[in-house]
Amino acid sequence: MTGFRSLSSGLRALRPAAFGADPGGERLERIRRSPHFADGVFQNPVSARIRPDGSMIEFAKVYFRKEERVHRTPVGTVPVHPTTFADLARPPAGGLRLTWMGHSSVLAEIDGHRVLFDPVWGDRCSPFDFAGPKRLHPVPLPLAALGPVDVVVISHDHYDHLDMPTIKALAGTDTVFAVPLGVGAHLERWGVPADRLRELDWHESTKVGGLRLTATPARHFCGRGLRNTQHTLWASWAVAGDEHRIYHSGDTGYFEGFAEIGAQHGPFDATMIQIGAYSEYWPDIHMTPEEGVRAHLDLQGDRADGVMLPIHWATFNLAPHPWVEPGEWTKDAAEEVGQAVAFPRPGEPFEPAGALPGEAWWRAVSGPIAHPWRRPRIVEGLAGTSKGDLDLAGER
């Protein structure tokens, strides 16, 4: 047995630091006691297939098809808003301001506190700096230029949401980290002191200053290494201050639990909703834009209230769809139900109670794209001809 332990220890020593650490000790015991842990793994609120549907060969054909790959990257430079430390140093007039930094990273300034969701400042969402999905645009400003952050919130441990270099940089500050159950093992390995961790199961809350942060259910999965044990939880988050409430979806497939989350923790002044990296090959674990708008309405009690900020798009190429499609589809879906949606450039601060950024900025750096979700329309002068699949960006 001594030889086996030596071999096992040697293999652990070879494990890349970016893989993080597996939960152990009291943390693992707490995981095993969770009502959401069964048969050796965390369970989704409703069943979800976490492996791609269908043939991987067929998926590879679609993903690497040359004529479609060209639509998955910009044709020009993505316009990044030149945010400065001075911009963020001025408090929001209405008490709530959001700054989308790209993908799912958002700085929320709420009732005098600063919350940073899923901060990813790395160039690639990958365990390696030489391979993996690379940014389509630079980060809007250096991490140090954000100024002090009261709490960093992590939705789950996938590389596009939990970035080791970013966490290591933040570990040297005084910020608190709110994470789903089990994720703390990664952060401790990267230098975050245990006393600055708030590790929560679904429906558990913690107080940081004047904020109440609650881990709420999501329909997704976890894992960073070669052996994904499903021993770290994934979550969405509800954050309540003295005057305002916000919600961050993390990654999730659509499920009916959004209405329950809204009833318990809403209504929300703003929601940050995942609307990108969807595919028919994994329909249960990411939402389409139409589902994202539906989720926002569920969270608001089926009312078109509050402001929706689309996240998880335009920064990394993670799915077969065109990179601008999530923005276009969200814009259409929201207009159909009268929902207010903010479309800031990466790094552009806005206040949900004020004027919302609404320009389709992505059209200037995108080629024409189809709109297959639109209802067929008749082209003037071509009676009987359906144009639904051929609508191009900017024509509506």
In tens, the pLDDT along 22-81 reads 999 999 999 999 999 999 999 999 999 887 766 666 766 666 676 667 788 999 999 999
Segments in the chain forming alpha helices (H):
2-14, 25-33, 56-63, 66-69, 85-89, 164-171, 184-189, 257-265, 289-299, 325-337
- Residue 80 DSSP code: -
Backbone φ and ψ of 318, nearest 5° = -120, 0
Count of CB atoms within 10 A of residue 29's CB? 10
Residue (of 207, 217, 211) closest to 298 by Cα position = 217
pLDDT on residue 387: 42
Judging by DSSP bridges, how do beta strands 41-42 and 37-38 pair with one another?
antiparallel
Strand partners, 106: 100, 117
Q: What is the rounded distance in angstroms from the CA atom of residue 237 to the CA atom of residue 205? A: 10
pLDDT on residue 54: 66
pLDDT digits (tens, 9 = 90+) for 270-292: 999 999 999 999 999 999 999 99
Yes or no: say if 369 and 325 are a contact pair by the CB < 8 Å rule.
yes
pLDDT on residue 10: 45
Contacts of 23 (CB under 8 A, 6+ apart): 31, 182, 184, 185, 231, 232
Strand partners, 312: none
The ranges of the chain with pLDDT < 50 are 1-11, 377-395
- Helix, strand, or coil (residue 181): coil
pLDDT on residue 71: 82
pLDDT on residue 11: 45
* CA angle centred on 38, ends 33 and 39, rounded to 5°: 125
pLDDT on residue 367: 84
Yes or no: say if 346 and 315 are a contact pair by the CB < 8 Å rule.
yes
pLDDT on residue 75: 93
- Amino acid identity, position 358: G
